[in-house]
Structure 1
Amino acid sequence: MSEVVPTGINTQDSSPHRVRVLLVDDQLIIVEAIRRMFVGQPDIEFHYVTDATTAHAAAAALRPTVILQDLVMPGSDGFDVIRQYRIDAGLRAVPVIVLSAKEDPKLKAHSFAVGANDYLVKLPDPVELLARIRYHSAAYISRLERDEAFRFLRESEQKLADANVQLQKLAALDGLTGIGNRRAFDDILQREWQRGQRSNKPLSMLLCDVDCFKLYNDEFGHQAGDLCLKKVAAVLTEQLKRPADLAARYGGEEFAVVLPETDLEGALKLAEACRAHLANLALEHPVTDAGVVTISIGVASFVPASEYTPADLIASADKALYAAKAAGRNCVRQG
């Protein structure tokens, strides 16, 4: 008989936390005797197979909490069957109780050596068999519950870590434009300043201001103003080619760009590309000399050193921005 045969119990509940017994024995008289021992035990679900060659597959499908294993069966060695259980990751921890026809110390020792958990001479006393089945099943079920709890904890910790990463990303973004916010700018500038001190390579920044933005808001309204800021942010982001570069909303209509390992010449070239690209979009702004939305940009570049601070770089870029505005706006100046 190759199928897993349930006897006397409703097996629709496949919960791993129910006591589930699989008997592997070719003698139906033994099967019936064991079955009778479980009569009146509603907490125990009983199954059996009489063909040892199907025992491993049956156990894998059934997921028993304990296996009662005969040692001598036609065409099969019970020890080999136990070894098959133990090399299967899904069955490795399932308790195996050997049911042997002999009280033989050598057989008992060998049973334990190949992975059995217990050894009984058949037919065992019903009270003893039930006690051992419940004992081994309880230990196995506790292990399942512990592993499930650890798995749930790991999954929860991973979800929490992922949520924290996402939250940190969101906390570093400007809600309107979707680029970095002032907090992100401050963090990145500090980090890149420290890295520049170690590498002795230049750190540059652009400080950008949308020209006559208050007048733009007055003329077209705040919704149009918000859209204008989004387009300016897109222009700045589009010009950045390296992952380490950062465009951020510095505040109001001001934007900042951090350029690690970029000298003044490279920063000025990027600033002019940003200015020109926005002007070429030709966003209507009738109260400016150009008639379109433009930006003024101040550029500064330092090789970070102990006698300077990030605030010095910002101050230099701010001074250059002021010079760009004084020069008529829609231009780039260096600090």
Structure 2
Amino acid sequence: MVLLVDDQVLICEAVRRALAGETDLDFHYCTDPLDAIRIAEELKPTVILQDLVMPGMDGLDLVRQYRDRPSTHSVPVIVLSAKDEPAVKSAAFKAGANDYLVKLPDRIELIARIRYHTRAYLDHVQRDAAYAALRESQRQLMQANLELERLTRIDGLTGLGNRRYFDEYMLAEWRRALRNSTPLALLMIDVDNFKLYNDSHGHLAGDEVLRKVADAIQDGVNRSGDLAARFGGEEFVVVLLDTELSGARTVADQIMRRVRAMDIPREGGHVTISMGVASMVPKEGVVPDDLIKAADLALFRAKSGGRDRVEVETAA
């Protein structure tokens, strides 16, 4: 696709005749320089033949405009000019021209230059398309990897963090709290008599209970840095950063109220949970399992003391 911009119809006709026998060259011309940009954007030429001296518009200004617009920025521009001075040629190349021919050029040379610049432009377009496709493929791969990484950390049933993620998160936050001498709190949560509920209502109903309890737990954990996770079976765990025992007890009470408010029916009442709460400031010689054991001990007291309650491990 060749576009000639020249105000002289005789020149346009001469170039048309020079290219007439070349079936692979589609020729168009524009005699009004004020329409050149619009026509170039509509035609999408692979080469622009540009006159320098035209009424109402400097040809070099047009070359600069081609280069300033995304649609024509890379399209090759061959300047056709009656001037053969080195200074004029230099100005044309500085403005962004790719080539310079004194008009009217030899037919064979003109066709050769057009084909050369067309091939170079199409190669450029194809490379850009290939690079764009590669970048898009890389972006999609990165998104897929991120999603895969996210899924490896999520419990499929409840949408909370899974046990693997909890173990990694607990260790990382324990080390951070150890460095900063800040408290780390843990809530151990168990759905009361869940096996009996499963046996009575079936596993699908049991799964729905776990999802609802998980939602209540997540809703009760307000800070973005805290983690709610499924510990295993009907057990859940919440990690609270920079939280002392009193603050952890407040969060536990909030979760307890949310579960009670759901009023999930079961034989003799509604579904309840038991919770154990512990908090400690990590120090040398103490490991994350010590905090987990402390919270688990409090959970044991909550269950053995009648369930549907919160117990705090003050010894932690």
**Aligned counterpart, 1:122:** 103
Partner Cα distance (2:267, 2:57) in 1: 94
Q: Measure the CA separation in 2 of the matches of 1:114 and 1:275.
A: 73
* Percent of aligned pairs sharing the same letter: 53
Instruction: Give the match for residue 121 of structure 2.
Output: 140
Alignment length (residue pairs): 313
Alpha-carbon separation, structure 2, partners of 1:322 and 1:75: 91
1:212 equivalent to 2:193? Answer: yes
Q: Give the corresponding residue for 1:149.
A: 130
Aligned-partner Cα distance in 1 for 2:9–2:273 = 91
- The answer on 1:101 being equivalent to 2:82 is yes
How high is the TM-score relative to the length of structure 1? 0.87
* Distance of 1:128 and 1:155 partners within structure 2: 40
Which letter maps to 1:196? A
Cα deviation, residue 192, structure 1: 1.8
SS of 1:223's partner is helix
Change (3 A) 1:136 1:297: same
Q: Which residue of 2 aligns with 1:72?
A: 53
Shift of 1:92: 2.7
2:34 paired residue number:
53
| 1:238 maps onto 2:219 in alignment | yes
Q: How far is 1:280 from its partner?
A: 4.2
Specify whether residues 120 and 253 from structure 1 end up closer, same or farther in structure 2 by C-alpha distance, changes over 3 A only.
same
Amino acid at match of 2:16: R
1:311 alignment partner in structure 2: 289
Q: Can you give the 5+ residue segments of structure 2 that lack an aligned partner in the other structure?
A: none
Residue 190 (structure 1) shift: 2.2
Q: Deviations over 1:245-289 (max 9, x none)?
A: 2211111111111111111111122223323432343333336xx
Of 293, 296, 304, 2:274 maps to 296
AA partner of residue 296 (structure 1): S
Superposed counterparts of 1:322-333, under 5 Å? 322-333=300-311
Find the aligned partners of 1:81 and 1:281 in 2 and give their Cα distance: 71
Q: Residues of 1 paired with 2:68 and 2:262: CA distance?
A: 68
Q: 1:42 aligns with which of 20, 23, 28?
A: 23
- Is residue 200 of structure 1 aligned with residue 181 of structure 2? yes
For residue 44 of structure 1, give the secondary structure of its aligned residue in structure 2.
coil
C-alpha displacement of 1:303? 1.3
Equivalent of 2:142, from 161, 165, 188? 161
Letter in structure 2 aligned against 1:315:
K
Q: For 1:68-88, what per-residue CA distance to the aligned partner results, in whole angstroms no more than 9, with x for missing partners?
A: 111222233222222222232
C-alpha distance in 2 between matches for 1:110 and 1:238: 68
Return the alpha-carbon distance in structure 1 between the equivalents of residues 62 and 52 of structure 2: 9
CA shift, 1:24, in A, is: 0.8
Distance 1:63 1:128 in 2: 23
Counterpart code for 2:294: S
Give the distance between the partners of 1:25 and 1:256, measured in 2 at CA. 77
Q: TM-score, normalised by structure 2?
A: 0.92
**Alignment correspondent of 1:177:** 158
Partner Cα separation in structure 2 for residue 283 and residue 76 of structure 1: 80
1:110 aligns with 2:88: no
Partners in 1 of 2:259 and 2:83 — Cα distance?
92
Name the counterpart of 1:10: none
Equivalent in the alignment of 1:257: 238
Match of 2:312, as an amino acid? Q
The AA in structure 2 aligned to 1:175 is G
Moved segments of 4+, more than 6 Å: none
Distance 1:294 1:71 in 2: 86
C-alpha RMSD of the superposition: 1.9
CA distance in 2, matches of 1:96, 1:298: 77
- Structure 1: stretches of 5+ with no match in the other structure: 1-19
| Partners of 2:68 and 2:231 in 1: CA distance | 61
Q: Quote how far apart the aligned CAs of 1:149 are.
A: 1.7
How far does residue 23 in structure 1 lie from its aligned partner after superposition? 0.3
1:26 partnered with 2:11: no
Structure 1 pair 65–229 and aligned structure 2 pair: CA distance change class (3 A): same
Q: Which amino acid aligns with 2:127?
A: R
Q: CA deviation digits over 1:100-145, x for unaligned, max 9? A: 1233323222222222221112221111111111111222222222
| SS, match of residue 259 in structure 1 | strand
Residues 97, 325 of structure 1: CA spacing in aligned structure 2 closer, same or farther, 3 A cutoff?
same
Distance 1:314 1:137 in 2: 71
